[in-house]
Chain A
Amino acid sequence: MFPKQSVVAMILAGGQGSRLGVLTDKLAKPAVPYGGKYRIIDFALSNCVNSGIEAVGVLTQYQPLVLNEYIGNGQPWDLDTMSSGLQILPPYQRSRGADWYKGTANAIYQNIDYISRYNPDYVVVLSGDHIYKMDYSKMVAYHKEKNASCTVASIEVPLEEASRFGILNVNEDNSIYEFEEKPKKPKSTKASMGVYVFTWSKLQVYLKEDEEDAKSSKDFGKNVLPNMLNSGEKLFAYDFHGYWKDVGTIESLWESNMDLLNPNTKFDLNDDSFKVYSRSPVMPPQYIADTANVKNSIISDGCNIYGNVDFSVLFNGVYIGKDASIQESIIMPGVKIEPGASVKYAIISENTIVRKGAKIGAKPHEVSKGEKWGITVIGDNIVIGDDVEIKAKSMIKDSIMHNEKSRKEVAIV
């Protein structure tokens, strides 16, 4: 028998994150590196432990190898406890056939047995791909106080961006009367953060009902929540005021990393009372050489810096050669930038080598007319050859050893 846990958390970590392109080619979005030493899922996991939640299920599906390896038994988050702790929940085969997780609601439905063995009162369902620090226990307390069936965490977003989110329309007491998924003309700026608290006895009923509905797309936002609302259940919005970012696109991932460099951002990862935990490799401290010039940046263990770094986030084990220049960029673990190379407004993925004199990306004012500007993304474990130039807004998956021009020259010879 498992001891009762009044709250069980379920983290949805199976998403592909296709808008992140090459970054999620070989790993699930929650495993994408963030902030110099973290992976995105560290935030959801750390929030759970910091909220006192002891039973955490992580639902995986898309490219789970890196994610599974990273989460392991949950030890870095203190979730390797004896009778509860962390459990990775992939889709599985059962006597009447096998299914992938067909939607967020279906994923929880398929794991009713896992949740039930703790006999919980409440279930927190959250996505593993958001950057924020939140105490879920306060939200559960609010849920109890309101005697709600479901509470949805909400954040104020600018009106012009509201049509990108699921919008909650609420009464004066914060009870929800309508959901609008990505509305063209939003009536409110209260966006759902994808964090839900359910009363478990109620949720089971609606999950089973939704599963039997062949037309349903098995999604919380589209199906389960509107169904609950239509059946007269009490749904409340829970206002969250801290930093929150959905890092689903290259631009938002880049911005959210840059937010860490801004002293005015109210997002302190060094706060001892609410730490963000991660699995850290053991590496020597970072070395900043005589020839280096480092400003406005975040740099992690094991880096060797001989060049110039400004407004950038460098993960562990990065090497920056002499006279190389890194500006407004994110350099992921194990990347080597050789002397004289320049990187601007770019994300360079793990273990890639940028050879001498290569030029990656451009500043917004540097692109010529008619060309589009954007963040340049370089995939993992590839090589960008000597003096190769990569244009702004490119997304590079395979090694490039020569510029197009010189490639032709080679062909003529």
Chain B
Amino acid sequence: MRGNNVLGIIFSSIGENFIRELTEQRTMASVPFGGRYRLIDFPLSNMVNSGINKVAVITKSNYQSLMNHLGSGKSWDLSRKRDGLFIFPPFGNSNKDFKSRISMLSAIINFIKNSKEEYVLLSDCNTICNIDFRKVLDEHVKNKADITLIYRKDVILKKVDTLTLNLRANKRVEEIKIQPKDVGTCNVYMNMSIINKDLLIHFISKCISENKCDYNRDVLIANVSNFRFFAYEFKGFSRDIMSLGSFFEANMLLMNNEIRNELFSRDVPIYTKVRDDMPTRYGESSNVKNSLIGNGCVIDGNVENSIIFKGVKIGKGTKVSNCIIMQDTSIGTDCKLSYIIADKDIKINNERILMGFRSYPVYISKASVV
């Protein structure tokens, strides 16, 4: 059964400043991940798997690659006559800045008003997880909540742009803090929430009229005591992409069999745009250990602890270890790469040696020649 009274809204650009390198030529949503995916595949597939039929994707800039990836939404079953996928590029004649969630939502306010759904699910793109939003909605309805915030228990190491929640026993949110003083195990808000549509419209128009633009501060923190805010704990695997380092680590975690099975479950798959590559070819001299490899690769060298995206070529005598090599990059013969994040369409000539370090993976930008 499909369709469940929820309108999905995805912010495709939030968090781009965390990983400047990867988002220089693309949105956060289209950052490649895990050998064949883009970050938006996770929120989008989670929504579709939870029966959401109508999804809006709000973009800010650099959204060419995202448009290319999403197309009509066919890969997620969202190319439909009734509802489906709606992509919102910045609205031409609005002079407002398009940086905050509030201004983005206000730009599509008529779309939200005209949607028949009663609830809205808001999500960013930089969290990797496989979550069933139906359970969140059930809780939301049961609690007669105005907003339900999805969180996980996690250790905050750095004081980044994260919200933490103080909860009562019944999961009602008592207090929301931004950049908390005490770091340690907290209830970390995952930047996904279900909110009643009429209330969302009210919040947006109120914020706009008062020239307030920070969703977290002016909607969530400001109203936590006036409205019924509840929290839903997500207990599965999840990782936020907050830096090049966390991007690297989240990718590497996919080598873990259990994590991979949970994230890419056969019953609730993560969908992505499929390219018609042939399967990967391993040559006579190939030697691959502990690596995740996409289709369409030709591997003649050594690969270890690495994520190799679709269409990558690795020449004879080359050693690739602890690397992320994105799609269609071609590496010549007798090269040595270690702790490298190589973007798309790079050409690495024969006998090149490139080294990063575990705590500092070296990034090579799209379509460069080494």
* Interface residues in chain A, defined as those with a beta carbon under 8 Å from any beta carbon in chain B: 35-37, 75-76, 261, 263, 269-270, 275-278, 280, 282-290, 292-301, 304, 309, 313-315
Contact = CB atoms under 8 A, between A and B. Distances in A.
Interface size range of chain B in the complex? 35 or more
Contact of A290 (B260, B270, B290, B295): B290
A37 B270 contact: no
Q: Which of A277, A288, A289, A304 counts the most chain B CB atoms within 10 A?
A: A288
Given A75-B74, A278-B276, A298-B280, 11 more contacts: A36-B279, A270-B298, A275-B276, A283-B269, A284-B270, A286-B295, A295-B285, A295-B286, A296-B284, A301-B294, A309-B282
18 contacts: A35-B279, A36-B278, A75-B74, A263-B283, A270-B277, A270-B296, A276-B276, A280-B274, A282-B274, A285-B309, A286-B280, A286-B295, A287-B291, A288-B288, A288-B289, A295-B284, A299-B280, A301-B36
Interface of B: 34-36, 74-75, 254-255, 257, 260, 263-264, 269-272, 274, 276-296, 298, 303, 307-310
Contact of B282 (A270, A283, A296, A304): A296
A298 B279 contact: yes
Contact of A282 (B255, B269, B291): B269
Contacts of A289: 289-290
Given A295-B283, A296-B284, A304-B257, A285 B292 contact: yes
A5 B300 CA distance: 46
Q: A-B pairs with the 7 shortest C-beta distances?
A: A285-B35, A36-B279, A269-B278, A300-B279, A284-B264, A288-B288, A285-B294
B284 A284 contact: no
Given A282-B269, A283-B264, A294-B286, A37 B291 contact: no
Nearest to B271: A282
B33 to A, nearest CB: 11
Given A292-B288, A295-B286, A285 B293 contact: yes
A304 B283 CA distance: 18
A287 B260 contact: yes
Contact of A284 (B35, B75, B278, B285): B35
A282 B285 CA distance: 29
A294 B278 contact: no
B273 to A, nearest CB: 9
Main secondary structure of the interface of A (DSSP, over half): loop
A341 to B, nearest CB: 19
Contacts of A294: 282, 286, 288
Contact of B283 (A275, A292, A296, A314): A296
A270 B288 contact: no
Given A35-B279, A270-B278, A295-B284, A290 B289 contact: yes
A62 to B, nearest CB: 27
Nearest to B307: A285
Contacts of A276: 276, 278
Contacts of A286: 280, 292-295
A299 B94 CA distance: 51
Nearest to A75: B74
Given A35-B279, A282-B272, A295-B283, A301 B295 contact: yes
A277 B264 contact: no
A1 to B, nearest CB: 24
Contacts of B34: 284-285
Contacts of B75: 282
A19 to B, nearest CB: 26
B244 to A, nearest CB: 21
Nearest to B41: A282
A288 B297 CA distance: 14
B67 to A, nearest CB: 19
B38 to A, nearest CB: 13
Contacts of B287: 293
Contact of B36 (A261, A284, A287): A284
Contacts of B269: 282-283
B276 to A, nearest CB: 5
Given A289-B289, A296-B284, A300-B295, A284 B279 contact: no
B4 to A, nearest CB: 22
Contact of B278 (A35, A76, A285, A295): A35
A288 B293 contact: yes
Contacts of B282: 294-299, 309
Contacts of A282: 75, 269-272, 274
Contacts of A314: 279
Contacts of A277: 276
A182 B283 CA distance: 39
Contacts of A75: 74
Contacts of A270: 277-278, 296, 298
Q: Which of A37, A277, A285, A297 counts the most chain B CB atoms within 10 A?
A: A285
